[in-house]
Structure 1
Amino acid sequence: MCGFVALYNIKNHPVSSEHLKEMTDVITHRGPDDSGFFTDCQVGLGFRRLSIIDLEGGKQPLSNEDGDIWIAFNGEIYNYQELQAWLKDRGHQFKTESDTETIVHLYEEVGFDCPKHLRGMFSFMIWDRKKQLFFGARDHFGIKPFYWTETEDFFAFGSEIKSLLKVNGVHKKVNPTSLYHYLTFQYVPDPETMFDGIHKLPPGHQVMIKDGKLTIEPYWKVEFTPEEKPFSYFVDGTRQILEESVLKHRVSDVPRGAFLSSGIDSSSIVAMLRQHEEVKTFTVGFDIPGYSELDIARDTSQFLKTDHHEVKISAERYLQELPRLIWHQDEPVADPSAIALYFVAELASQYVTVVLSGEGADEFFGGYNIYREPHSLRMFSSLPGSMKSALRQVAGVLPDGVKGKSFLIRGSKSVEERFFGNALIFSEELKQKVTMSNLSNDPAYVSPFKITSEIYKGAAGYDDVTKMQYLDIHSWLRGNILMKADKMTMANSLELRVPFVDPKVFEFAAKIPTKYKIAEGTTKYVLREAMKDLLPPQIKTRKKLGFPVPTRVWLRGEFYSWAKELIYSAEVDEYINKAYVLYMLDEHKEGKVDYSRRIWTILIFMLWHQIFIEEKYCFGPFVSPYIETRRKNLETFRVG
């Protein structure tokens, strides 16, 4: 796990190492152990290393034996040993035991099909001297970030936007369309970012520059292929593929641990990991009742006999760290749990360099409670369109708060009309209030329906639950779940691994029929049955809790004055109707309406704007204070 940058000078001018160093210095937190640079005429690669595999030999940028193919790579390849053995049989000569060199020789062997063979998390750029081309790719689901931009002089690539902001000709400017989408989804959907002119390479895509022209194309796509087989087949197969994935994700030359919450996802990972080794586990919680998983995680730890560690976060500390953590995120992501994740990562970084976690289980195995909605709305499925339209009109005139109004509205809509993913913060009507704009007359405006409808096209023919999973994999998983997981762990120089988010695991999960995913009044039914003998009984039946953070409570108390001051001081009047935001804040404080998610979404954008656009905060290279402690732990790990 590391960070990379890459430059391609469009005018064929030399790239300077000093420029690359400036770009990599700002992401020192991603790789505090080492740095490296390579330049060749109009191209340059820069790298920051967090040493995980082949501690001595895995330095980057790295080349083949002839020095005509160079790579900068962020991530881990879990099938690299099998690929390495195959490549050696094909006559390739290796000088290291690193997974990085495996990608180089794989590219030599199969060319642009290289990413299709990789099992892991990755973003990389390869410079092919002979062919004079730049080639890069991002992993199947977007575990690792990959940003790019174009200026008059450069194509620039990197693991974080902060690096690209150091490129000559890149200007810090808000993308108004991205802001509109952020207000819907609480993050900016691929392929755009909140910065005008800076883009994400979508997961499962590759990029190539040849003769100064950039092209992007997919190398893989998500496909669900349900099979009619006995329930036991899917239970046994789920257990088998997950155990195999956890084994693959154990590979490292540094100490490992795991995050542990109150749910089945992380508990399953810990239980499978515990079958092979002693495990250190880490949990975060809060003082407020209903907002802490500490007790349940502690009980699970005792059941699994792990070496457990926990941290409890106060409102004061949460708010104190918030600006720097928004800086680490690069873009505004209005998920309060992202900040909580930072604190448990900080705790883990005192003991280990690698942690395993349970992200992705909900999207792959059908775990979100909202996935039960199609079953609850099944009575509407046989109604003709005209009757559904009439029901919607009737519901529309009912006063807010009338029981059944929301049920009628949602039942009268198709899944494509009602489901935007796991977050729908502001409706189109409310967005016009909060931005003081008539969106329909704005030529730059793109409806969020345009974003989701393009995704739904790939799910045509699936049942409604599978359509919801498909949408979440293409939006919520990559835009929120994996983004916050990467940024908040790497802020602590900690490598996060997600065994559920694995191509082989998905390949099997995609075969499970919906009747086995949503069953017996619960979600993730196959997964629960597959794991039941490894976990405490209460974990198997526990409903999805999420990662609760008490911002709802704090905005009525400890955060109220801070929020009000931020609203007044942020220079975002051209984007945000501050009077309406202040109205929501006061209504929320008085307990009249729960506006916490909407308020938090606006506040995070305002804080992001102060940090990146107004530059009211100054953050430099940051390295976890626990790095030296971890290095001592590594020596103990080697001896042990």
Structure 2
Amino acid sequence: MVFLSENLLLTDWAAGASRALWRRSPRAVCSWHGGRWVVRPLYYGRTEGGALAFASEVKALLAVTEDVHEFPPGTWYTASEGFHRYATVESGRLPEGDPDRIALELRHRLDQAVARCVVADEMGTWLSGGVDSSVIATVAWPRVRTLHSFVSGVKGAPDLAYGEQMATFLGTVHHSLLVTREDLAAALPEVIYHLESFDALLVRSSVVNYLTAQLASDYVSAVLSGEGGDELLVGYDYIKQVPPSAIPAEVEDIVMRLHNTALQRVDRCAYAHGLVPHIPFADMDVVRYALRIPAEHKIHRRGGTAIEKWILRRAFQGLLPDAVLWRPKAKFWQGAGVETLLAEHAEAFVTDADFRRERVLPNGWQLHSKEELVYYRFFREHFGEISNLDWMGRTKRVSGSPVTAATTRQRALRDSADPSSYEAPITPTAGASVPSSGTTKGEPGHWLHLLVHGGGGGLSRYRRREGIEPPPRLPARPSRCAWLPGPGSRWPAPAPPSRIP
């Protein structure tokens, strides 16, 4: 926590993503973002003595004041003029273009974003086997000497199986944590203390995230996360029902909620165990570009089937196993299998009469379920009865349902769909620079390596009789090697990976 006092300049790097400045003269406060989207909120409040206090967690401010507010992202403040926004993120729209070129550019930007996140030769990645986490792990894998992957779930949870499949495909050092109902219940008080929220869906996903971070902290000091992909590239099924013309505004709305919901979950769960989280999807180069991708490329409709995050799947087709690449979206707590366990746990502690009596909070908010009431009770034990909760982010709900819910019918359609029936391998777009002796089409069973300095690179085979395997690991020299090419990159003549310096 920081108090604004004499002539003073303080800087605070929040997870390497946000920067805040406090200065007495000229009594200005600025919340300023570097190359990545905000992953940690900033709060402020005035003490009884009139001092202006700032902190990145509410619990620090509550020790001196209950006048707590969220400092708006991309905003500066002066005592004389108040708040002024100086940075915004707008959706806009890319000029009409070939979806393959858009997919390649998205892949290139994610590659560069991951490169900026790689801070050591040995790192971790949260790997649930969903599309987002698998994409990040795939891009990160050649850039580190040792990549640890982590997943948690109850017995039989889909994430355990998909995470192990992806880890085997890449050859990561994989760690799985099998959790029980008792583990989940025991972690709840600490999770809510660090998260500073009682939102049911947010807490539910945070419990598994918290336990996964605890496991990861035994092996690495920094982890990669695939958070943010669902919001930027439309991973939620409810958006399929939104009119196409309204999708950009809806995407912008949920993206602007990230900093005090999903990204806050990642940040708090990681730092609770001394881990530094890195979120490539929150890189501003990725955010700006993704928000401009046309909605029809994010939700691809053909033959009565609507595929979410289509452009991301398209961008990494051939680089991930099809079972993972075309896996339907599952919320963190759904894939980990904790959905019913926590709800059942709440039933044992909250009667119908309790819920009717305690459902309405002092500020007028209504709790959605008995499960959320259990979380609020823990929250109240930690922080007291707080009348002002405007600073707390809450999961967006549509028509009384969480935006993360997927219908059984949609899942069944996706599970039975044959990707090859509506997808074709990405090929270079017209005008791509390809040598006459090379090929203009990605060859099945090949991977492409590209040297930024010194020439070399090309296509190499990796298909074996027993199945497809990933490309051989490249030396950890991210400044000199780019594994995924971007649009307009020249494809050099084939050369063996041993030529990479």
- What is the TM-score when the length of structure 2 is the normalising length? 0.68
In structure 1, the residue matched to 2:292 is 511
Matched, 1:326 2:326: no
- 1:233 aligned counterpart, secondary structure: helix
In structure 2, the residue matched to 1:219 is 86
The CA RMSD over aligned residues, in Å, is 2.9
How far does residue 504 in structure 1 lie from its aligned partner after superposition? 0.7
Contact 1:282 1:309 in 2 (8 A): yes
Of 2, 8, 13, the match for 1:6: 2
Of 72, 93, 104, the match for 2:11: 72
In structure 2, the residue matched to 1:347 is 215
* Inter-partner Cα distance in structure 1 for 2:239 and 2:143: 34
In structure 1, the residue matched to 2:111 is 243
Of 557, 561, 566, the match for 2:348: 561
How far does residue 494 in structure 1 lie from its aligned partner after superposition? 0.9
Matched, 1:150 2:46: yes
In structure 1, the residue matched to 2:474 is none
Select the structure that is richer in helix.
Answer: 1
How far does residue 204 in structure 1 lie from its aligned partner after superposition? 2.0
- 1:430-474 Cα shifts (integer Å, max 9, x gaps): xxxxxxxxxxxxxxxxxxxxxxxxxxxxxxxx8222122112112
* Inter-partner Cα distance in structure 2 for 1:510 and 1:614: 39
In structure 1, the residue matched to 2:98 is 230
In structure 1, the residue matched to 2:262 is 481
* Inter-partner Cα distance in structure 1 for 2:200 and 2:32: 24
Aligned pairs for 1:266-305 (under 5 A) are 266-277=133-144, 278-287=146-155, 289=156, 291-305=157-171
Of 20, 30, 41, the match for 1:136: 30
Of 155, 158, 163, the match for 2:60: 163
In structure 2, the residue matched to 1:372 is 240
Contact 1:333 1:480 in 2 (8 A): no
In structure 2, the residue matched to 1:602 is 373
Shift in CA distance, 124/149, structure 1 to aligned 2, threshold 3 Å: same
* Inter-partner Cα distance in structure 2 for 1:493 and 1:206: 30
- 1:343-372 Cα shifts (integer Å, max 9, x gaps): 001011111111111011111112212221
Shift in CA distance, 164/537, structure 1 to aligned 2, threshold 3 Å: same
* Inter-partner Cα distance in structure 2 for 1:557 and 1:598: 12
- 2:163 aligned counterpart, secondary structure: helix
- 1:251-297 Cα shifts (integer Å, max 9, x gaps): 35x8421100121101000000012123111111112x4x4410110
* Inter-partner Cα distance in structure 2 for 1:223 and 1:553: 38
Matched, 1:469 2:251: yes
Aligned pairs for 1:414-433 (under 5 A) are none
Contact 1:123 1:145 in 2 (8 A): no
How far does residue 533 in structure 1 lie from its aligned partner after superposition? 2.3
* Inter-partner Cα distance in structure 1 for 2:13 and 2:348: 41
* Inter-partner Cα distance in structure 2 for 1:149 and 1:576: 18
Contact 2:100 2:315 in 1 (8 A): no
Give the AA of the match of 2:219: Y
* Inter-partner Cα distance in structure 2 for 1:565 and 1:317: 26
Shift in CA distance, 373/574, structure 1 to aligned 2, threshold 3 Å: closer
- 1:472-505 Cα shifts (integer Å, max 9, x gaps): 1122x23321111111111111111110111111
Contact 1:354 1:497 in 2 (8 A): yes
Aligned pairs for 1:517-596 (under 5 A) are 517-519=298-300, 520=302, 521-547=306-332, 548=334, 550=337, 552-554=339-341, 557-564=344-351, 567=354, 575=362
* Identical-residue share of aligned pairs (%): 25
- 1:545-604 Cα shifts (integer Å, max 9, x gaps): 111155553357544323449948x98887499xx99xxxxxxxxxxxxxxx62222322
- 1:293 aligned counterpart, secondary structure: helix
In structure 2, the residue matched to 1:611 is 382
Alignment size in residue pairs: 372
* Inter-partner Cα distance in structure 1 for 2:81 and 2:59: 22
Give the AA of the match of 1:154: A
* Inter-partner Cα distance in structure 2 for 1:347 and 1:302: 19
- What is the TM-score when the length of structure 1 is the normalising length? 0.54
How far does residue 513 in structure 1 lie from its aligned partner after superposition? 1.2
* Inter-partner Cα distance in structure 2 for 1:368 and 1:348: 28
- 2:29 aligned counterpart, secondary structure: strand
- 1:188-228 Cα shifts (integer Å, max 9, x gaps): xxxxxxxxx2111122223344xxx5722212112122220
In structure 1, the residue matched to 2:423 is none
Matched, 1:203 2:203: no
Q: Which moved more, 1:553-562 or 1:340-349?
A: 553-562
Shift in CA distance, 70/573, structure 1 to aligned 2, threshold 3 Å: closer
- 1:358 aligned counterpart, secondary structure: coil
Give the AA of the match of 1:122: S
- 2:307 aligned counterpart, secondary structure: coil
* Inter-partner Cα distance in structure 1 for 2:296 and 2:197: 38
- 1:282 aligned counterpart, secondary structure: strand
* Inter-partner Cα distance in structure 2 for 1:553 and 1:158: 35
* Inter-partner Cα distance in structure 1 for 2:53 and 2:188: 29
* Inter-partner Cα distance in structure 2 for 1:332 and 1:492: 20
Give the AA of the match of 2:374: L
Contact 1:571 1:610 in 2 (8 A): no
- 1:463 aligned counterpart, secondary structure: helix
Shift in CA distance, 325/480, structure 1 to aligned 2, threshold 3 Å: same
- 1:496 aligned counterpart, secondary structure: strand
Unmatched tracts of structure 2, length 5 or more: 387-501
In structure 2, the residue matched to 1:496 is 277
Give the AA of the match of 1:613: G
* Inter-partner Cα distance in structure 1 for 2:353 and 2:116: 46
Contact 1:149 1:164 in 2 (8 A): yes
In structure 2, the residue matched to 1:180 is none
Shift in CA distance, 572/275, structure 1 to aligned 2, threshold 3 Å: same
